[in-house]
Amino acid sequence: MTGNQASAGHLLRLIRDGSATTRGALQRATGLSRSTVGHRLDQLFAAGWLREGAAEPVEGPGGGRPSTRLEFDAGHAVVLAADLGTRHAGAAVVDLSGRVLAERSGAMLISDGPDRVLDALARWFADLLEETGTPPERVCGIGLSVPGPVDWASGLVVQPPIMPGWDGFPIRERLQEAWARHISSEEPAAPVLVDNDANLMAYAEQRAAHRDCAAFLLVKVSTGIGAGVVAGGRLYRGIDGGAGDIGHIRLHDRPEALCMCGSYGCLAAVASGRALAAQLTEAGVATDSVSGVRDRLAAGQPDAVRLAREAGRRVGEVLVTVVTLLNPGVLMIAGELAGTPFLTGVRELLYQRAMPRTTAHLTVVTSRLGERAGLLGAAAIVVEDLYSPDRADARLAALGG
């Protein structure tokens, strides 16, 4: 980065990632003059995005004035985040550091379709915001996690097997409209970002507990099966958001297993929570939902334990190829089935079949954030987008800075 290119947005990034947190350090990192750094920081202070922290110890020989530490002010705005499951949703008001200020969850049927679901979410958001006493103008963005494939650039859900009525629906626009209606605002509403649940869970979990891991893989096993990849600290989505959609890889030996996507023999048709519920019912243990499977596993029901372990092995078969391609440092198994039997099955298969070199430094772990992962990922993605150097500069310009 040369001096002339180091805009206010770039300085903000250096401050946020901790690589330069004083005026002097910013000058050294960018080559900008003292007065130019001062001018750009003034823009950031005027926007309310920065605050001064404690004095830093003086560096180098001879000392000098102690320099004040500059900090991103994570309380100057809030993000609204929501996580949609197939029968359940969560929503929260989150500050810019990822701290949850108010939170709600409850039954919501994704099969009710986008109009009803998005309107209900907007109502939840309005209630939660009121609970925190935050005025609606302080909302800088809205993040939404959905259980289906998303084209990141357009925010559209693409042929989702378990989201009837959502294919190609303009989620961003409709949620913005619904939100503006609930707060009776004429102003342009906060921007909305939408992504797939496994991606957002991977993003949040990597940042929460595996920040040093340069290749992080999360596999979510709930109603369906999906995966998210964080490489070099960034979500890897592929060219149209299709990366990680491993649930519909065909297995060679189960041509009769009908999947929710309409095909036969998919991994999700054999090893997902939905598949396990059906297998348990067939074995004489009536189980009608994924949470039912989870309850049986928690109770140590022998058929549930046996079938979950076998499902883990089937997922492990597919993951042998995935980990060989990605060589991840951490493989996290998340979602409602992510308990011990399932994990044991995955491990067994991986360590039996993958090359030792691929798994030598691989750790297989369970979730750190639990049910909140999707929600926190949805909030984090909004903050990273809005305060990235280019977006930050554009927003500062709009503020008149």
Tell which residue, 60, 106, 52, 99, has the closest CA to residue 78: 99
Long-range contacts, 104-108 (Cβ 8 Å, 24+): 104/128, 105/371, 108/84
Q: Among residues 46 and 258, whose Cβ is nearest to Zn ion?
A: 258
Interaction of residue 251 with Zn ion, rule CB under 5 A: no
- We find the least distance from the C-beta atom of residue 254 to Zn ion, in angstroms, to be 11
Binding of residue 314 to Zn ion (CB under 5 A): no
- Binding Zn ion by CB under 5 A: which of 208, 209, 249, 261? 261
Query: Nearest distance from residue 36's CB to Zn ion, in Å?
Result: 55
Nearer to Zn ion, 221 or 266 (CB): 266
CA distance 186 to 176: 12
Residue with tokens 């909305």: 192
Could you tell me how many residues make up the chain? 401
Site membership for Zn ion, residue 249 (CB under 5 A): no
**With CB under 5 A as the contact rule, which of the stretches 170-178, 215-223, 241-249, 298-306 interacts with Zn ion?**
241-249
Nearer to Zn ion, 182 or 248 (CB): 248
**Residue 248 in the binding site for Zn ion (CB under 5 A):** yes
Minimal distance, residue 133 CB to Zn ion, in Å? 46
Which CB atom, from 125 or from 166, has the smaller least distance to Zn ion?
Answer: 166
Residue closer to Zn ion, measured from CB, 8 or 271: 271
Q: How far is the CB of 270 from Zn ion (least distance, A)?
A: 10
Instruction: Read off the tokens for 162.
Output: 């378990």
How many other β-carbons are positioned within 10 Å of the β-carbon of residue 175? 26
Q: Which two tokens stand for residue 12?
A: 């903000």
Does the footprint of Zn ion cover residue 162 (CB under 5 A)? no
Specify the residue, 37 or 267, whose C-beta has the smaller distance to Zn ion.
267
> Smallest gap, in angstroms, from Cβ of residue 315 to Zn ion?
14
Does 267 engage in binding with Zn ion (CB under 5 A)? no
Question: Between 24 and 147, whose beta carbon lies closer to Zn ion?
Answer: 147
Interaction between residue 254 and Zn ion (CB under 5 A): no
257 is a contact residue toward Zn ion (CB under 5 A): no
Both structure tokens of 167: 């294919």
Which listed range, 91-99, 231-239, 245-253, 365-373, lies at the site for Zn ion (CB under 5 A)?
Answer: 245-253
Q: How far is the CB of 261 from Zn ion (least distance, A)?
A: 3
Per-position x/- string for 191-230, each x denoting binding to Zn ion as judged by CB under 5 A, each - no binding? ----------------------------------------
Q: Using CB under 5 A, pick the residue from 266, 290, 326, 362 that binds Zn ion.
A: 266
Query: If binding is defined by CB under 5 A, does position 79 make contact with Zn ion?
Result: no
Binding site for Zn ion (CB under 5 A): 248, 259, 261, 263, 266
